[in-house]
Chain A
Amino acid sequence: MSAAQGGRVEVRLAGIRLAHRRPIQGCRAGERAPAGGAARRPETDRNVRLPAVILVLAWAGVAAAAPDPRLRLTPEQRAWLADHPELVVAPADRFVPYEFFDDKGGYRGVAADYMALLAKRLGVRLRVLRLDDEAQRLRAMAGGDFDVGAAVRPASPLAGVALLTRPHITMPGVIVASADYPDLRALSGRRVAVVEDAPLRLDAARLPDGVVLRPVRDVTTALELISNGRVDALVTDMATASYYIHREGMTEIRIVGRTGSDLSLAMAVRRDWPQLQAILQQALDSITREEHQQIARQWIHLKRPTLFSSRGFWIGLLVVALAVMVVMGGILLWNRALQRQVAQRTRSLNQELRRRHEAERALQETHADLVRSHQQLKQTQMQLIHAAKMESVGRLAAGVAHEVKNPLAVIHLGMDYLAGELDDDPVGGEVLADMEAAVRRADGVVNSLLDFSREEELNRRPVQINDIIDASLQLVRHELVQHDIRVARRLTPGLPLLDCDMNRMQQVFVNLFMNAIQAMGGKGTLTVSTCRTLTGERDDGRVVAGNRPETGRSVIVAEVSDTGPGVAADALEKMFDPFYTTKPVGEGTGLGLSVIRNIIDLHQGAIEVGNLAPRGFSVRLLLDCRED
C-alpha cells in the first residue's frame, strides 16, 4: 500500500466476478496530480481530468448486466441505471478493514465487498478511484468527481457534502488489551491508546475511571505498543480489532470489553444524484441477513470472545476439571484400595499355600513315621510270635531233656556195667561203641534243644569280634581240613569292642561255619569278613531276622559266606524257624540258625541271609556298635 501512497488510483472492476476474497487487480498508469488541483469528470469516458495518477486496476467482465429482478425498481430508476452503467467509487485510504488497498493495489475491505454485491445486484460496473487523502476525497465528493463512498460515518465531514443511505454497517466499539487484563475494571488507571487519525471517533463512555488516553498514529502501532507493554489497551471497533489481531497473529491480545457505542457506516452518494441514493438504498435493503453475515465472517475472525474470556467458562472448566480430578482421585483411591485388597489376598493365599505345603510335609513325615512304626510293629510282632514260640519250645525242651536224658543215663550206666562184664570180647566192644554213639546223638539233639530254648542273662564283656571269629575258626579247623575248605579271612583291624557274651557269640560263628562247610559239601571257600559301616537300605532279596538297626546307624557287620549252591527262595523264609532243616535226617537238628538267631536277638542285633550271585550263600550279622 505504501507504494501507491500519495498517488491516485483508478480501479475498474466487474461486480459479478468480484469474489469476496479476491482483490481487484490493476496496474499503475498515470502520474501524480498537483496538490490542490480541482477534479472534474467528463460525462462519457469518465477519465479523470485532474492531473492525477490514474490506476486502472482490473477489468473483470465487460458488459454490464441487467439489475436483479428481485429489486423493485421503478421504470425511471431502471432507465437511470441503463444511462449510468458504471459507478465510480473513491475509497477512504487505509480505513482497514472497511476499505483499503492491498499490497497489489486491490480494493478490499468490508465496504468493498458490499460494493461488489451492490454492483452485481444493480448490474453496473464499478470503477475505483484512488485519492491521496481524506481532504482530497472530500473535495472530490463535493465536486462530483466520484459517485459513491462505500463506508462513511454519518458524523464525518464527507457526510456533510453527500447524500447518505441508512447505515449498512454497524460494528460495536471494543477495548482490546493483553490477556493480563481479564476485564474492563482491571484497566482502571491504565494507559489506553486511541488512534488519532482514524476516520472515526469512538465514544469512550464505558472506559473505566482514571484511564489515561494515549493518541497513537494507527492501529498497528497501537497493537505493537500493547505487545511491548508500553500501552495497556486500545479503543477501536470489533472489525478492526479482529482484523489486526488475526493478521498480526497477536494471540496474546484479546477483546476485554465493549465501549458501549457502535461504529455506524453508511453509503455516501454525490449530492446531485438523489436517484442513485434511492436505488442504493433499495439495493442495500435487499441484502439478506445471510449475505450480511457472510461478509462479516470474511473480516471478523475473532472467535467468540465470550467463550475463553468469560469467567463462567473458566469457572465451569475449573469445576469440570475439579470434578474430573475428584473422580480420578476417587478411582485412584479405589484402585489403591483394590490393589491393597489384592495384595492382602495374595499374601493370605501365599500364607495358606505355605501352610498347606507345611501340612503336606508334616503329613508326609507322619506317613513315613507310620511306615516306620508299621515296620517296627511288624518286627515286634514277629519277635513276640518268636518269643511265644520260644517259651513253648523252652518248656518242651526242659520236659524232653528230663524225659530223654534219664533213660539215656540208664543206658549209659548200663553200658559201663556191661563193658566190665565183656572183658576182651571184640564184637561186644563194637556194639557198645555203636550204643555209645547213638546215646551221644540223642544227647546232642536234646542239648541243642536246650541251648535253643535257654533265655538266661548274657555274660557280657567288651570283646573284639575278630578274636571271637579266630577262636571259632580254631574250633572248626578239623572240619575245614577234612572237607578241603579254603578260608578267606577279611577282618578289619581296630574295630570297636562289642559288648557281648563271648561263649554265645562263639557258638554263633561255629554254627555258621559248620553250616557253610556242610553246604559246600567239599571243596570251596569260606569267606568271613568284618567291618564297621552305616546301615544301608534294606535289600529286598535278603531275609532279615531280629532287630535291624535303622538306616544310617553305625554298626559292625560280620559276614560269613560260602560257595555252595545257596538256598531256594521258599526255604529262605523258613530258615529261622526252629527244627527247619534242609539236611538229610540225622545230619542236622534244624536248630542251628534258630539258636544263632536267639543269641543275636539277645544282643539286640540282626541277621540277614541271602543268596549270592553267581552262587553261594551269605549270612550277615549286624551288631549295634557302642561308641564309647
Chain B
Amino acid sequence: MSTRKTRVLVVDDETGITRMIKLNLEKTGDYSVWTVNEGARAVEAARLFKPDIIFLDVMMPDMQGDRVAEQLREDKELKDIKCVFLTAIVTRDETADGGNEIGGNHFLAKPVRTRDIVRMIEKLL
C-alpha cells in the first residue's frame, strides 16, 4: 500500500453515480475521488486535481465523453492520464470477452459494480 492515495476523477451527468463511486472508493481508504457532473468541466477539473485515472461517462447532455477524452489527449499535461469510459450502450457480454477495450479505449458497462472499478484501476495503474 502506497502512502499516496490514488487520485480518481469521475465524470458523469448522473449525480447518483458519481456520489456512489466516490463513497465506495473513498471508503476503502486507498482513493481520493473528485467528481464532476458536466462534461465541459472535466478538463478544468483534471488540470486542478491531476488525477491518476479518469472514469468518463459517454452519454452526457452538454458534452459527450469521447469529446472530453479528445480534449484531454490534446493537452500536453493531461494526455497521459488513463481514461475509462462508462457506458450504458454496451452489453456485459461485450465487456467480458473483449477485455473491456474497444478501439484502444477502456470501458466499463453500466450498471457498474465497485469491484469492477477497483479491478480496472489496479489493472491500469
| Interface members, chain A 386-416 (any B CB < 8 Å) | 398, 401-402, 404-414, 416
Q: Is there contact, CB below 8 Å, between B21 and A413?
A: yes
Q: Which residues of A contact B20 (CB under 8 A)?
A: 409-410, 413-414, 416-417
At the interface, yes or no: B47 with Cβ under 8 Å from chain A?
A: no
Q: How far is the CA of A402 from the CA of B89 in the complex (A)?
A: 7
Residue of B nearest to A439 (CB): B111
Residue of A nearest to B59 (CB): A402
Q: Which residues of B contact A408 (CB under 8 A)?
A: 110-111
At the interface, yes or no: A451 with Cβ under 8 Å from chain B?
A: yes
Question: Closest CB-CB distance, A192 to chain B, in whole Å?
Answer: 144
Q: Which residues of A contact B24 (CB under 8 A)?
A: 413, 416-417, 420
Question: Closest CB-CB distance, B24 to chain A, in whole Å?
Answer: 5
Contact residue range for chain B?
Answer: 20 to 34
Question: Closest CB-CB distance, B40 to chain A, in whole Å?
Answer: 19
Q: Which residues of A contact B88 (CB under 8 A)?
A: 401-402, 404-406, 409, 446
Q: Is there contact, CB below 8 Å, between A412 and B89?
A: no
At the interface, yes or no: B92 with Cβ under 8 Å from chain A?
A: yes
Q: How far is the CA of A475 from the CA of B107 in the complex (A)?
A: 26
Q: Is there contact, CB below 8 Å, between A413 and B92?
A: no
> Which one of A410, A420, A447, A450 contacts B14 once the chains associate, using CB atoms below 8 Å?
A410
List, sorted by A's number, 6 A–B pairs whose CB atoms are closer than 8 Å. Answer: A409-B16, A409-B112, A410-B14, A412-B111, A450-B89, A451-B91
At the interface, yes or no: B70 with Cβ under 8 Å from chain A?
A: no
At the interface, yes or no: B124 with Cβ under 8 Å from chain A?
A: no
At the interface, yes or no: A133 with Cβ under 8 Å from chain B?
A: no
Question: Closest CB-CB distance, B120 to chain A, in whole Å?
Answer: 14
Q: Is there contact, CB below 8 Å, between A450 and B91?
A: yes
Q: How far is the CA of A398 from the CA of B89 in the complex (A)?
A: 6
At the interface, yes or no: A601 with Cβ under 8 Å from chain B?
A: no
Q: Is there contact, CB below 8 Å, between A416 and B113?
A: yes
Q: How far is the CA of A363 from the CA of B121 in the complex (A)?
A: 73
At the interface, yes or no: B27 with Cβ under 8 Å from chain A?
A: yes
Q: How far is the CA of A73 from the CA of B27 in the complex (A)?
A: 196
| Interface members, chain B 50-106 (any A CB < 8 Å) | 59, 86, 88-89, 91-93
| Interface members, chain B 2-39 (any A CB < 8 Å) | 14, 16-17, 20-21, 23-24, 27
Residue of A nearest to B115 (CB): A416
**What DSSP secondary structure best describes chain A's contact surface?**
helix
At the interface, yes or no: A102 with Cβ under 8 Å from chain B?
A: no
Question: Closest CB-CB distance, A508 to chain B, in whole Å?
Answer: 14
Residue of A nearest to B109 (CB): A405
Residue of B nearest to A412 (CB): B111
Q: How far is the CA of A407 from the CA of B16 in the complex (A)?
A: 8
Question: Closest CB-CB distance, A423 to chain B, in whole Å?
Answer: 13
At the interface, yes or no: A443 with Cβ under 8 Å from chain B?
A: yes
Q: Is there contact, CB below 8 Å, between B17 and A409?
A: yes
Q: Which residues of B contact A405 (CB under 8 A)?
A: 88, 109-111
Q: Is there contact, CB below 8 Å, between A443 and B93?
A: no
Q: Which residues of A contact B27 (CB under 8 A)?
A: 417, 420
Q: Is there contact, CB below 8 Å, between A413 and B93?
A: no
Q: Which residues of B contact A412 (CB under 8 A)?
A: 111-113
Instruction: Given A402-B59, A416-B24, A417-B20, check contact A409 B91 (CB 8 Å).
Output: no
Name the residue in A398, A406, A417 with the highest tally of chain B Cβ atoms < 10 Å from its Cβ: A406
Q: Mark A506-550, 1 if CB is under 8 A from B, else 0.
A: 000000000000000000000000000000000000000000000
Question: Closest CB-CB distance, A564 to chain B, in whole Å?
Answer: 27
| Interface members, chain A 433-490 (any B CB < 8 Å) | 439, 443, 446-447, 450-451
Q: How far is the CA of A414 from the CA of B111 in the complex (A)?
A: 11
Q: Is there contact, CB below 8 Å, between A409 and B89?
A: no
Q: Is there contact, CB below 8 Å, between A413 and B114?
A: yes
Q: Which residues of A contact B21 (CB under 8 A)?
A: 413
Q: Which residues of B contact A406 (CB under 8 A)?
A: 14, 16-17, 88, 110
Q: Which residues of A contact B59 (CB under 8 A)?
A: 402
7 closest pairs, A vs B, by CB?
A: A413-B20, A405-B88, A410-B16, A408-B111, A409-B111, A416-B114, A412-B111
Name the residue in B23, B110, B113, B114 with the highest tally of chain A Cβ atoms < 10 Å from its Cβ: B110
Name the residue in A404, A405, A446, A451 with the highest tally of chain B Cβ atoms < 10 Å from its Cβ: A405
Q: How far is the CA of A451 from the CA of B24 in the complex (A)?
A: 31
Residue of A nearest to B15 (CB): A410
Q: How far is the CA of A443 from the CA of B113 in the complex (A)?
A: 13
Q: Which residues of B contact A413 (CB under 8 A)?
A: 16-17, 20-21, 23-24, 111-114
Q: Mark A273-295, 1 if CB is under 8 A from B, else 0.
A: 00000000000000000000000
Q: How far is the CA of A88 from the CA of B28 in the complex (A)?
A: 194
Q: How far is the CA of A412 from the CA of B17 in the complex (A)?
A: 9
Q: How far is the CA of A414 from the CA of B14 in the complex (A)?
A: 13
With A409-B14, A409-B112, A450-B91 given, can you name 15 additional A-B contacts, CB distance below 8 Å?
Answer: A402-B59, A402-B89, A405-B110, A405-B111, A406-B14, A408-B111, A409-B20, A409-B111, A412-B112, A413-B23, A413-B112, A416-B114, A417-B20, A443-B92, A450-B89
Name the residue in A404, A408, A410 with the highest tally of chain B Cβ atoms < 10 Å from its Cβ: A410
| Interface members, chain A 359-403 (any B CB < 8 Å) | 398, 401-402
Q: How far is the CA of A398 from the CA of B91 in the complex (A)?
A: 11
Question: Closest CB-CB distance, A416 to chain B, in whole Å?
Answer: 4
Q: Which residues of A contact B112 (CB under 8 A)?
A: 409, 412-413
Q: Is there contact, CB below 8 Å, between B111 and A443?
A: yes
Q: How far is the CA of A441 from the CA of B66 in the complex (A)?
A: 29
Question: Closest CB-CB distance, B36 to chain A, in whole Å?
Answer: 16
Q: Is there contact, CB below 8 Å, between A447 and B91?
A: yes
Question: Closest CB-CB distance, A454 to chain B, in whole Å?
Answer: 9
Q: Which residues of B contact A443 (CB under 8 A)?
A: 92, 111
Q: Is there contact, CB below 8 Å, between A411 and B111?
A: yes
Q: Which residues of A contact B17 (CB under 8 A)?
A: 406, 409-410, 413
Residue of B nearest to A442 (CB): B111
Q: Which residues of B contact A451 (CB under 8 A)?
A: 91, 93
Name the residue in A405, A412, A413 with the highest tally of chain B Cβ atoms < 10 Å from its Cβ: A413
Q: How far is the CA of A410 from the CA of B17 in the complex (A)?
A: 5
Q: Which residues of A contact B92 (CB under 8 A)?
A: 443, 447
Q: How far is the CA of A245 from the CA of B110 in the complex (A)?
A: 147
Q: Is there contact, CB below 8 Å, between B111 and A447?
A: no
Question: Closest CB-CB distance, B117 to chain A, in whole Å?
Answer: 9
Q: How far is the CA of A416 from the CA of B26 in the complex (A)?
A: 13
Q: How far is the CA of A413 from the CA of B15 in the complex (A)?
A: 12
Residue of B nearest to A403 (CB): B88
Q: How far is the CA of A408 from the CA of B86 in the complex (A)?
A: 13
Question: Closest CB-CB distance, B73 to chain A, in whole Å?
Answer: 25
Question: Closest CB-CB distance, A543 to chain B, in whole Å?
Answer: 29
Q: Is there contact, CB below 8 Å, between A409 and B93?
A: no
Residue of B nearest to A413 (CB): B20
Instruction: Given A398-B89, A402-B89, A450-B91, check contact A409 B110 (CB 8 Å).
Output: yes
Q: Is there contact, CB below 8 Å, between B114 and A447?
A: no
Q: Which residues of A contact B111 (CB under 8 A)?
A: 405, 408-413, 439, 443
